[in-house]
Structure 1
């Protein structure tokens, strides 16, 4: 796996009675070890009505990270808590819970959310623990399973959080946060200019009919014995086109065993959104993949992103 994929796994990013039988000393010690304020576990315990014990960190997660916890000395669960960054953060997390409930009712394999809440400093959510490991690599079998899972998202938009319209704004240069990319280097500038030319004049999308996961990278795909058992980190889910998630898979499938599967991905994307829509989504993926390593100062990753970006555009151009 490349250094870029390793950091993507680290960075993924990327929007609930009274406690009985709790031991204050053990809780305070465990929260200290993981760097999480005790108030967060206090709030969670009050919502779920059970003793909470932190067992340790899980791979992935952001800020405070994903923590494996035990409820009432029995069931295991996963806690994610992030520092408050803006006033609407709890509302966004509640939106994600509604998406989870809606999609689970349609057979979508994402863990049930057991609770959502907020303290003065953090917003948190608690979900079922799933026995599976993040996909180390995307094998052809895993990609094919994911393509079928993504079809469950068709026509299932349930929240007005439009990733489709956002992609259009990114691809057509209307997102100010991405406006400084061209000044990074001549090679980045060349790729950004190519993207601007290919996206010039693209009309805004007319509808957002599908549910969108919005972060379907390998670290958010849990696998057991070669089978996909869960899709996690669904906090940014919303509406749009399911081709958004297919395009993310496309970005993470640049290795030899997947060359054949890439053709299947492109075919499905073009069926769902056509060539102009595929161009918009590819451009958005490339620009966002450029933005975060530049923002984090991971200059060693830029050349790889630029190479992938040009290859993605070359493949798309050949399909026109």
Structure 2
């Protein structure tokens, strides 16, 4: 997850991928040389297109503050379990320790990120998410992931910025903590959980979904979290068909409170904190309105 770097803002921003530095470190550690082609579109921390000397193209990502064994036992194990079923997740080509961080080079999947989720694409996305359910049955060694409802996460889901920002955001944190006290800080289950399942991490070409990327936060748990993540993911798409929103909301209404409430609290905290540290105030207001729509009661 993101590491902090100093910024002129009152709260530190997440450190972004420096592909030139990371590829140089990968070369020093492994002897494998990559040429950086440029940044992948979207994302807050970043990924980059890279190319080997033989012309093979891949995607470089970077996960700070994690050991390779932890990465292998968690996110990479989740993607491999799904890939065994034919799920369109990228293969891992290289994972290397760089100090306290891990650089990961993965298969470049076809297609481009979904800029506008249409009803037709949504049904394909929902079909993929349905394949997360029960995908990790019998794989109890894959860890779950805290929702950070009771204390700050590692570079995201921070409690301190919204507690200090305004009366409204402080109230949101108190509600999030109350939900954490009531339901716990993790969603148990045997589902594959992507952890950042939104249109910017889902690829399409000619109206067909071709892959899901950015599995760095993947874990074992309840795939209801990915459905909530999808609802937050369509929120910034101002031209989205209302039918898309209504369809997702109807599915959310079918989740049990023990899944929906902590999952919604997690995304609410995540986006409020992130918006305070990275977005204009007007965008924060929009995220708070969405968060509060299901946090009452």
The two structures share one fold, judged by TM-score above 0.5: yes
Give the SS at the match of 1:229: strand
Q: How does 1:114-193 map to 2 (within 5 A)?
A: 114-120=93-99, 122-157=101-136, 158=139, 159-163=141-145, 166-167=146-147, 170=149, 173-175=150-152, 177-178=158-159, 181-193=162-174
Q: Residues 54, 44 of structure 1: CA spacing in aligned structure 2 closer, same or farther, 3 A cutoff?
A: farther
Tell me the matched-pair count: 274
Q: Give me the whole-angstrom Cα distance separating, in 2, the residues matched to 1:246 and 1:112.
A: 24
Q: What secondary structure sits across from 1:54 in the alignment?
A: strand
Tell me the residue number matched to 1:263. Answer: 246
The offset of 1:247, in angstroms, is: 0.3
Superposed displacement of residue 288, structure 1: 1.1
Unaligned runs of 5+ in 1: 1-10, 15-31
Find the residue that maps to 1:136 and give its secondary structure: coil
Cα gap change, 1:205/1:121 in structure 2, threshold over 3 Å: closer, same or farther?
A: closer
Q: Is the 8 A contact 1:44 1:115 kept in 2?
A: no
> For 1:228, what is the secondary structure of its paired residue?
strand
Q: Contact conserved, 1:12 with 1:61, CA < 8 A, in 2?
A: no
Quote the Cα distance in structure 1 between the aligned partners of 2:76 and 2:187: 26
- Greater relative CO, 1 or 2 (CA 8 Å, sep 6+): 2
> Contact (CA 8 Å) 1:54, 1:70: kept in 2 or not?
yes
SS at match of 1:201: helix
Kept in 2, the 8 Å contact 1:12–1:60? The answer is no
Gapped runs of 5+ residues in structure 2? 1-12
Give me the CA root mean square deviation: 3.2
Higher helix fraction: Structure 1 or Structure 2?
Answer: 1
Q: Give the corresponding residue for 1:214.
A: 195
Structure 2 CA distance for partners of 1:106 and 1:13, relative to 1, 3 Å: farther
SS of the residue 1:214 aligns to: coil
Query: Normalization by structure 1: what TM-score?
Result: 0.73
Residue 212 of structure 2 corresponds to residue 241 of structure 1:
no
Is structure 2 residue 58 aligned with structure 1 residue 77? Answer: yes
Deviation at 1:274, TM superposition (A): 0.9
